[in-house]
Structure 1
């Protein structure tokens, strides 16, 4: 295991920039995962980190020790780097780090010609808050979404805050950034459904079975008129209380799991009808 003791070391400078700069992450095609859970999610997806960075105190952590032993047995053998706690804290995005970071290549998914025409996908336009974005990715992964398409003005999907909010969801999704959402919506063969507050049908009365792509817009401005023109259905979540609107991540979770509910009920009905023959 290599040791670095100076802030002036080129590798430390690179890691520092990756943690703090979206442009650096984009240019390098790399990002840093902080903590045991994100690293475990990465490993469970079959992805091998480029480098593990461990603090001196973190190396004494039982779970980290076990992870290091497990990774050391891997034929591909990930390099490990030891930093003093002081240096480690300068590149960790949290106030009380557990003591392990992983440098990974950001997964690149080729935009398919059919753009997931028979799938369950989401289009995200102008989502600004990394916490919202991460929460939406987490809900999408839990609901069985396949493709996630982000406009160029969305928050960085692979930033530390988004990764923490996603809780490992990134590694079970095909995430496409800087996408022309209007083109994707026009190419989608299934039902394109947008959440709006006006001139919309009740979400719970809308047929969401089969191939669906949901469109969710900016926290303040919603979905652009240009993108709205491409959708097939506009839906709203009924709110009998006094609140005018829901947080976009909350709205997304409700929509995604209403589709899951409908698909599950449809499947149960089909099984029951087959069983009664």
Structure 2
């Protein structure tokens, strides 16, 4: 196990950039997974990380020690550092003290939508994006397509909110959603507060592609015009609309309910 003890270390500076800069993460094709749950999920579902980073105090934690043991047993890279240096990288307050450096996958966008999927149009809040990914994975959806204005899926905040959903999803970013919808082989359903068709009136016992939009403006007009159907979730309370992540969860699990009934 290598040790880093100086903030001037070149490798340490790279970690700081990955932790604080979305541009650095995109350029390097790398991101940080912070915490036991995400690191263990990566080991179980994807394999070894590029590097494992651990604080000196965390080495005494049984869960962290088990993860480090697996890493070192397979001769992967592991780096220890004083708590002060680790905490300056970590964005998790009162975290356990272990993180992985992992590659962010780059995938070619399929020629056409052919299975159940999620399309995110300019969804900007990382917490919302992560929650949608988590709900999609739980509902058995495999593909997620994000427009250029959507929050970077491999940012630390999205990763924490998704709780490992990334590792069972195929995520495509900077996608031309209009072109994708135009060639879709499955129905595309866009949510809109102005739709007349209620979600619960839809037959969802087949693959569909869900389209969700910006937290304030909703799905863009050009995408609404391309959708097979626009749908609304009826609600009784005197509120204008649901949060986009809550809206997505309702849609996904109505589809699950119909397919299981």
Q: Is residue 131–residue 161 contact of structure 2 (8 Å, CA) maintained in 1?
A: yes
- Match in the other structure for 1:247: 243
- Partners in 2 of 1:36 and 1:263 — Cα distance? 34
**Superposition deviation, residue 124 in structure 1:** 0.1
96, 102, 105: which one aligns with 1:104 = 102
Greater shift in the superposed pair: 40-49 or 241-250: 40-49
- Match in the other structure for 2:69: 69
- Partners in 1 of 2:9 and 2:71 — Cα distance? 25
**Superposition deviation, residue 186 in structure 1:** 1.1
**Superposition deviation, residue 252 in structure 1:** 0.2
Distance 1:95 1:199, change over 3 A: closer
1:173 equivalenced with 2:166 (yes/no): no
Output the aligned Cα RMSD: 1.0
- Partners in 2 of 1:46 and 1:110 — Cα distance? 19
Give the 4+ runs in structure 1 shifted more than 3 A: none
- Match in the other structure for 1:270: none
- Partners in 2 of 1:164 and 1:225 — Cα distance? 31
- Partners in 1 of 2:47 and 2:108 — Cα distance? 17
What's the TM-score, normalizing by structure 2?
Answer: 0.98
- Match in the other structure for 2:4: 4
**Superposition deviation, residue 72 in structure 1:** 2.3
Q: What is the number of residues matched between the two proteins?
A: 261
Q: Deviations over 1:96-123 (max 9, x none)?
A: 121101000112222122x341x11010
Q: Deviations over 1:115-169 (max 9, x none)?
A: 341x110100111110011000000000011110000001111111110000000
Q: Is residue 113–residue 183 contact of structure 2 (8 Å, CA) maintained in 1?
A: no
Q: Is residue 71–residue 77 contact of structure 2 (8 Å, CA) maintained in 1?
A: no
- Partners in 1 of 2:60 and 2:104 — Cα distance? 29
**Superposition deviation, residue 200 in structure 1:** 2.8
- Partners in 2 of 1:66 and 1:194 — Cα distance? 45
- Partners in 2 of 1:180 and 1:259 — Cα distance? 25
The structure with more radius of gyration: 1
- Match in the other structure for 1:83: 81
- Partners in 1 of 2:50 and 2:234 — Cα distance? 47
What's the TM-score, normalizing by structure 1?
Answer: 0.92
Secondary structure of 2:226 counterpart: coil
- Partners in 1 of 2:44 and 2:105 — Cα distance? 14
Which stretches in structure 1 are left out of the alignment for 5+ residues?
266-277
- Match in the other structure for 1:155: 151
- Match in the other structure for 2:207: 211
- Partners in 2 of 1:147 and 1:186 — Cα distance? 17
Which stretches in structure 2 are left out of the alignment for 5+ residues?
none
- Match in the other structure for 2:33: 33
Q: Is residue 36–residue 100 contact of structure 1 (8 Å, CA) maintained in 2?
A: yes
